Chain A
């Protein structure tokens, strides 16, 4: 029978248990900081104490993109020097609320970075796969992203006529209905 706890409930002593996610320590006692299911994680090392974790009822976790995360996002606008991305998923996890990121001109691809033309790499509405390289400053975006790898870039795009496009090479995509070729920075996935 699993135990459900509410915020501020005293769970145990620090001499017997370790404090895990959803708990905090105050004066040698462990208290819960969220409402949820109490989980006791036995440690493989017999010398270590059992960890107390609370699995919150709320599905929204405190997840935020960190440096090195692979994200999936949608291009919201492009400028000469950058493309603004709406981050929709972190890895496999879809986000309830999107974050904003930016791919700078020099981070679009690994070759010939001074001759990148943004409109030939990304268009608004494209779904892209990128990697977080750094946290942003206080301006309109929170994360700097890069697509300078072969498996990063556009994974889904619509042509000017509005139909889905298929990848031709790492630089071109073909519209499935009109057979027009459009230039993109395509992600080559195996």
Chain B
């Protein structure tokens, strides 16, 4: 399969450094403290945030700060074939753990001793770049919930396929056998909090260019998220009549 054709177009018609269409909706679930629906191309993730609230898992209680509880769940209808994956299996736990550790660096946990913040992630449609979409959606949901954070967490995937550096992979490109690099960035400080390289190995000479491409992609996603948040804030302000 040709992932980048002679004109420089990918399978879905994008250029090598083009992001997919991103749509952010905040406050989609009325009962949750914060929620967000994030779409990156055909990948759709719904996140609900509860908290900070009284801790339920008392063994994990910390007297000086809050704990974050992340639950990652993939819908059975999200992939091309119906596939039931348990929330408790090793892969889901590992993904949930890495997302939790990323957010521990940005959420101001010391403000809420002996509390917990729940992040429930539900993947509705999986078309590549699932974990970056989960992180982006979780950031939006946390901001919707009013949880104090020091910065956003923006994430995107990239790879080196067909002698080209590709940004924001869909699932066909992910299955190509090339190495997938997922970058999670703090846009204001331009610092990487989570970096995952999987599916294959990557050459050191290519790594730096791919990383820069990923960071650039994250910054652009950050700008899109900021404008979505501003719009949502203005809507909330107008609907409540605060000015």
| The stretch of A55-63, A125-133, A170-178 that contacts the partner chain | A55-63
CA distance in complex: A139, B55 (Å): 11
CA distance in complex: A62, B152 (Å): 20
Given contacts A6-B233, A34-B146, contact A138 B59 (CB under 8 A): yes
Q: How far apart are B79's CB and chain A's nearest CB, in angstroms? A: 33
Q: Mark A122-152, 1 if CB is under 8 A from B, else 0.
A: 0000000000000100111010000000000
Question: Which residue of chain A is the closest to B108 with respect to CB atoms?
Answer: A33
Given contacts A24-B108, A142-B114, contact A33 B148 (CB under 8 A): yes
CA distance in complex: A35, B228 (Å): 12
> Judging by beta carbons under 8 Å apart, are A58 and B146 in contact?
yes
Q: State the interface size on chain B (CB cutoff 8 A).
A: 37
> Judging by beta carbons under 8 Å apart, are B146 and A56 in contact?
yes
Q: Mark A93-104, 1 if CB is under 8 A from B, else 0.
A: 000011110000
Q: Mark A13-50, 1 if CB is under 8 A from B, else 0.
A: 00000000010101000010111110000000000000
CA distance in complex: A58, B243 (Å): 15
B residues 123-163 with Cβ under 8 Å of A? 143, 145-152
B residues 58-106 with Cβ under 8 Å of A? 58-59, 61, 63
Task: Tell me how many residue pairs across A and B have CB atoms closer than 8 Å.
Answer: 82
Does A2 have its Cβ within 8 Å of any Cβ on chain B?
yes
Does A110 have its Cβ within 8 Å of any Cβ on chain B?
no
> Judging by beta carbons under 8 Å apart, are B243 and A62 in contact?
no
**A91 partner residues in chain B, CB cutoff 8 A:** none
**B148 partner residues in chain A, CB cutoff 8 A:** 7, 22, 24, 33-34
**A163 partner residues in chain B, CB cutoff 8 A:** none
Q: How far apart are A162's CB and chain B's nearest CB, in angstroms? A: 31
> Judging by beta carbons under 8 Å apart, are A24 and B143 in contact?
no
CA distance in complex: A36, B233 (Å): 8
Question: Which residue of chain A is the closest to B187 with respect to CB atoms?
Answer: A8
> Judging by beta carbons under 8 Å apart, are A97 and B108 in contact?
no
> Judging by beta carbons under 8 Å apart, are A57 and B111 in contact?
no
Q: How far apart are A185's CB and chain B's nearest CB, in angstroms? A: 26
**B152 partner residues in chain A, CB cutoff 8 A:** 7-8
Does B184 have its Cβ within 8 Å of any Cβ on chain A?
no
Does B206 have its Cβ within 8 Å of any Cβ on chain A?
no
Does B203 have its Cβ within 8 Å of any Cβ on chain A?
no
Q: Which of A2, A56, A97 interacts with B243 by CB under 8 Å?
A: A2
B residues 30-62 with Cβ under 8 Å of A? 33, 52-55, 58-59, 61
20 A-B pairs with CB atoms under 8 Å apart are A4-B233, A6-B143, A7-B143, A8-B150, A8-B151, A24-B108, A26-B150, A31-B151, A33-B149, A34-B146, A36-B146, A60-B146, A62-B52, A64-B115, A97-B54, A98-B54, A138-B59, A142-B54, A142-B55, A142-B114
Q: Which 5 A-B pairs rank lowest in CB-CB distance, beginning with the nearest?
A: A58-B146, A33-B148, A138-B58, A56-B146, A6-B229
